[in-house]
Structure 1
């Protein structure tokens, strides 16, 4: 089966930054499953694996605009220290949640001095290209529920629903038999 729109695709992958440092990987976790064409992974990844089959390997570079986008200097804010709601030491590289309670976003501290703390709401990998090495480990048809809600189901749940549907569709007839059988 080939990777195409609305198929559930499972990949194992390694993502490295431009300095060849590991950013993300499926090495120590489950492989990543997604529905092709739904943009739950970078669309550029979907484009590069379209038509692949189980066992196919792809190595490529995602440019910044295909990954986390370009850096946006407007997302950098300087906050007076007395308005920064954190007890304790604040250091460069620390990540905090900022914004309205219904719209919180992660921010990273990029500069600290006695009076001000500068934070950046850009994704830490914004503006960077990423080296991707992946292998397609499974391709299957998506079930109706997956297509309806866009969420890949655990295979155990898919099989349980299939068994339950078969049991509902199996009709058992009982017949009264007279005499010896």
Structure 2
């Protein structure tokens, strides 16, 4: 059941279209109105800092937020960059700077890592596990298409 008077808040399903773009206009992630995202606050589909921007919005609201690093994905942490032995990767994997690879943590979570450098002499691959938008300003545009109560 959709209630047009509801505002985005905990315990409600939200149907939205969104885009995340760099200030240059390069779109990094999006879901348009023909294929929107349905989520509940806190379900980990959307970063908590972005969820916080949605609280209180109503159905039909279109909003655009300029998000600095401290309100988005934070700043890069140099301790999140690791040298991993080349043998840990598939032999046929073309490891090049910029390649994003999914890694499984010891707890079973899937996290992305970005190849920063490949040291052939040392047989090491430098991988950055910071969020790709850490340290970046970006623009978050959202349209609230529906809010459903439980």
- State the TM-score, normalized to the length of structure 2: 0.75
Aligned to 1:167: none
Larger relative CO (CA 8 A, sep 6+): 1 or 2?
Answer: 2
Q: Does 1:58 align with 2:63?
A: yes
After superposition, give the CA deviation of every residue in 1:75-122 in whole Å (9 maximum; x if it has no partner).
Answer: 1122454x4433134211223344665546432211123223211111
Q: Does 1:13 align with 2:12?
A: no
- 2:90 corresponds in structure 1 to 86
Structure possessing the higher radius of gyration over alpha carbons? 1
Q: How does 1:70-109 map to 2 (within 5 A)?
A: 70-81=75-86, 83-88=87-92, 89-98=94-103, 102-103=107-108, 105-109=111-115
> Would the alpha carbon gap of residues 17 and 84 (structure 1) be closer, same or farther in structure 2, given more than 3 Å must change?
same
Q: Which residue number corresponds to residue 39 of structure 2?
A: 34
Kindly indicate which of the two structures has a greater share of residues assigned to strand: 2
Determine helix, strand or coil for the equivalent of 1:119.
strand
Residue 28 of structure 1: how far off its partner (Å) = 7.8
Q: Which structure: greater helix fraction?
A: 1
Gaps of 5+ in 1: 143-181
Paired residues in the alignment total 140
CA contact (8 A) 1:44 1:62 kept: no
RMSD: 2.6
Asked if 1 retains the 8 angstrom alpha-carbon contact of 2:6 and 2:58, the reply is yes
What is the TM-score with the length of structure 1 in the denominator? 0.64
Change in CA separation of 1:12 and 1:105 when aligned onto 2, cut-off 3 Å: closer
